[in-house]
A and B are shown apart, each in its own frame.
Chain A
């Protein structure tokens, strides 16, 4: 079968187009099919920029703004530090500050999975200062377990010493930052 368009080369692609009222099916060769596409795509073109990716592939700005006029969709979470909204973040493809990661933490795993081949959790280098904090946290957990055992066995003097030690470690941790959520 020859290409319906150029009538020169063999038809290798079935080109289907669907609109609200109509459905068409055309048999085209590779070349005509390539040039018939409603959006231009060249195999040599640069990969999508991160802004384009976020805005067009994850239902970002354009999708939002079309609906926004009628429905006033919320902008999503907003960063309390730099005022960046999640909607705006999708638009520009950049975070405004480190706190944005906390503000958008609910949305981020899905986004990171798309960007990083399904990965959502860091597995690389950890700053040395943070490594020290991990070590402190671990030690604190150990002391709390020992303290619990001492109380259960009515070794109250030992429990009191462990409690003081735990308090000291807690103080060290709070000096170095938040115990619960380290950023």
Chain B
């Protein structure tokens, strides 16, 4: 009846996951109870859960990422403490628990923090920057988000019901095959990634189509803001790479569930094929994450330097070059496979070549700042901190791209330090910069600067104190994923790293405090202009938060930095007083499709993990029924009458006119 599921799945003997699970459950039910008692449920359902508005979906993505950041961060804290105390002793974590923690940490941070964070920011911002009303497929967008949430939910369920994979974040066979991992851990891993991967693919298709087919009048390719370009590149990579992940995980699952022999040791299976396939996805994945961050830095640096982006066209070229080359380097993840010197040399050189366009970008940002009037607001701090940090990460990357060096450093802590250097220093700093930069656009008020700066300095310092020692112990020969060790020389560095983790945690706390303080003081921090940073691209041309239709009419773009242009012209010609002709706007209707899909996907995923076959069938029927019901809708759009559009827009125009004329009088 319940497949493999019984009471032994719940780890009554292990206090840590049980207590953590209990706390999470209490928190969830507390929030739900509070929402229900206060009567917010209808609001939540109509305005958020069923919303197909790209801005709302973007915000929900970022919320999901932030919650999962706390989860993945707790794992990181536990690992750093374990390695600090586990010198010539077992430490405080049993080995199999520790193995689950590092696997969960990697999986969560990549798939459920970094991915939703950047996809959330792209969702929130790109249609605004393109001057259009929504993404290409709004309902599909909601489906994509909720499937991602399903994946995150399954990972968290594994904390209490059953176990998570102990195989590392990429579940290499043969360790992940049934004979070596008979439990449900790898199945949790594979199904949660499979489901959220579909969500990511959907988001990728959506954003590629949005950028290529939905741009406002006059927005030629070479007038698109840099963030739109990097979004395009990143989502092209998603469309090309995520199907590889889907296929690879499907093969692993077939091996585990039906006794196939893709990656087994026996009957001719080929383990190295898994390496090739998973890294053919995994390497582009790195750039899927970091390219949007590059876009954010481009926007932030140019805005806060008060200058157009230096070398815009070379930036576009560099972005697309990275997009292409990132697909040709996957083998550098396993130089030690034994592919031979020629193959290794070719992939080593290809890997190093990526440093060229990335270097072009760094110089472009520096030259954008050069001679500019720089304001060191929080987003700018994150950007400058990124430039310094990312260069170190990039240089160590070039180092491990040298095959002979890689033979020394492969699977060492040096490697761990390197990729945290680029992922934290690149992706996470970018995500935080984007969060601070676009927060006023999403909610209509700024974040508190003092707490923001404190968060930056703690995180920045904490990052260096944590990860620089890891480079050193890597050089001293420490390999990754060690549960305990006996080498005295490593110990002091591990303790320093643990202290660094404490500083990093302070950064996270500051960020939470910043959010709370800012929400409390939201009246004082209110942004009435819609353009708090004196921005240059179209998202600042509408009010904050933008109306559901974003723009009363499609803006007309006449050059790069569209909104900057408009502002300059407006100052020169005062205002054009002709009242625009408003028209009715058709907007997509809200739909619970995404939520219902995710509901059935969760049931199906859980049932598959535990081999509860009747429930799988139920979930499948439910999914098809959802599809048919969605296809049967008669009215998927509603009309906002022109008069209402005009009324909303007039308020926005009046507000801006008064503010600008005040500024002009000074």
User: Are these two chains actual partners, yes or no?
Assistant: no
